[in-house]
Amino acid sequence: MKIGILGTGFMGKHLARKLAAAGHDVKAANSRGPETIPAEALEMGARAATAEDAVRDVDVAILAMPHPGFEKIRPLIAGLSEDVVVIDISNYFPGRDPVNPELDGTKAESEWARDFFGRPIAKAWNSIGMVSFETKGRPNGEPGRIALPVSGDRSRDREVAMALVDDTGFDGFDAGTLADSWRQQPGSPVYITDLTLEEMGSALASAERERLPKRRDLSAQVFAERVGERASPDAETVVRIARALFM
C-alpha cells in the first residue's frame, strides 16, 4: 500500500522502518522538513517527504504525533479523499499535552480526533510502549505474539489497520467503533501491558472508564519517579509497572 506517516519520533520512525520492510511504499514527514528526518527512519526504504507530500496520493495516512501537532496538519487531513484510511496512534497526556476540556471523560480521544479532522479515522498502535514496539514484533502465528486493539467506525478502516498492525509484527484485535475506543486509552488494562490475542477481549471488557484518567496520571508519576522525566525504562519495567497499575 502507499502509506504516508506524519511524525518520525519514537513511534513514527519504527512504523516507517517496519512498514517499508514489509514491502509498503512509505513516505515519512516530521514538522521541520525532509532533511531533518532521522536516517534510522529511512533505512528500510521509506522516503523523506514534507507533510504535504507525505499524504499526497496515499492509501493510508498515519498520524504519529502528539495532539499539539494536529492543528498544523488539520487542513491536510480534512482534505484527504474519503477512501484514504487515516490511522491515529496518539494518546492524550495532560501535563505533556495542553489540557483539552473536550477530553474530560465523556468523549473518547479518537472521537475527539475524528470530530477535529471532520472525517473518519481509525485508532491503532497507541497501546504499545515504544520499546516493546521496537523490539517485540514477531511473525504471524508465533506463540505469545502481542496483540493490539484497533478501533474505527468503518469496518474497512479497521481491516486495513489490522492488516498493517500485523505487518509490524503484532496481532490486530478488532475493538469495534470509536465510541468504545476509550477502552484502549492510557490507564486501561490493555495499555502498554503487552497482552496476547487470547487475553485481549476480556482485558478490554474489564476496563473501567472513570478510573482511566487517575491511573494514567498516576502512571506518569510512577515512571517519572522510577526513571526520571527524560529517560526510557526498559520494556519489562514498563510492562511490570503497567500491569500493576492498570490490570
Ligand X SMILES: NC(=O)c1ccc[n+]([C@@H]2O[C@H](COP(=O)([O-])OP(=O)(O)OC[C@H]3O[C@@H](n4cnc5c(N)ncnc54)[C@H](OP(=O)(O)O)[C@@H]3O)[C@@H](O)[C@H]2O)c1
Summarize as ranges the residues that interact with ligand X (CB under 6 A). 6-12, 29-32, 51, 64-66, 69, 72-73, 89-91, 125-126, 128-130
**Least distance to ligand X, CB of residue 130, Å:** 3
Using alpha carbons, select from 183, 187, 186 the residue that is nearest to residue 245.
Answer: 187
Q: Which is nearer to ligand X, 28 or 143 (CB)?
A: 28
DSSP 243: H
Q: Which is nearer to ligand X, 7 or 187 (CB)?
A: 7
Q: Which is nearer to ligand X, 80 or 130 (CB)?
A: 130
**Least distance to ligand X, CB of residue 96, Å:** 8
The answer to whether 18 touches 7, Cβ cutoff 8 Å, is no
Q: Which is nearer to ligand X, 155 or 240 (CB)?
A: 240
Q: What distance in Å separates the CA atoms of residue 10 and residue 109, rounded to the nearest whole number?
A: 20
**Least distance to ligand X, CB of residue 63, Å:** 8
Q: Which is nearer to ligand X, 155 or 226 (CB)?
A: 226
**Least distance to ligand X, CB of residue 70, Å:** 7
Secondary element (H or E) of residue 22: none
Q: Which is nearer to ligand X, 129 or 172 (CB)?
A: 129
DSSP 52: H
What is the SS3 string spanning 129-182?
CHHHHHHCCCCCCCCCCEEEEEEECCHHHHHHHHHHHHHCCCEEEECCCHHHHH
Give DSSP secondary structure letters for 62-116: EE-S-GGGHHHHHHHHHTS-TTSEEEE-----BTTBPP-GGGSSSS-HHHHHHHH
**Least distance to ligand X, CB of residue 13, Å:** 8
| C-beta nearest to ligand X: residue | 9
**Least distance to ligand X, CB of residue 37, Å:** 8
